[in-house]
């Protein structure tokens, strides 16, 4: 079974370019202010979530192991 992740978007950094919502649409959604929200941390496989985080141009996405708090990105 896949481990549970905690996914967060830093809204002081997010520039709303929609890279994360394109790569991982099951997890990220732009809100009315064009800020990405992590709406469902189990909406995509872990590697897709990490790929979205890696490709955020402003490193606004933080991913942690929900059980241990280990920072994965």
Closer to ligand SF4 by CB, 36 or 41: give it.
36
Classify residue 2 by its DSSP letter: P
Contact present, 48 and 55 (Cβ < 8 Å): no
For position 14 contacting ligand SF4 by CB under 6 A, the verdict is: yes
Among the listed residues 5, 7, 19, 41, the single contact to ligand SF4 using CB under 6 A: 19
Q: Based on the number of CB atoms within 10 Å of its own CB, is 51 exposed (0-12), middle (13-18) or buried (19 or more)?
A: middle
Closer to ligand SF4 by CB, 50 or 60: give it.
60
Contacts (CB under 6 A) with ligand SF4, residues 41-60 = 56-58, 60
């Amino acid at each position: 079974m896949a481990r549970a992740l905690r996914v967060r978007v830093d809204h002081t950094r997010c520039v709303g370019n929609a890279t994360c919502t394109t790569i991982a649409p099951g997890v990220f959604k732009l809100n009315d202010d064009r800020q990405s929200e992590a709406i469902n941390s189990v909406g995509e496989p872990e590697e897709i979530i990490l790929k979205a985080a890696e490709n955020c141009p402003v490193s606004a996405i933080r991913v942690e192991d929900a059980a241990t708090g280990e920072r994965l990105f």
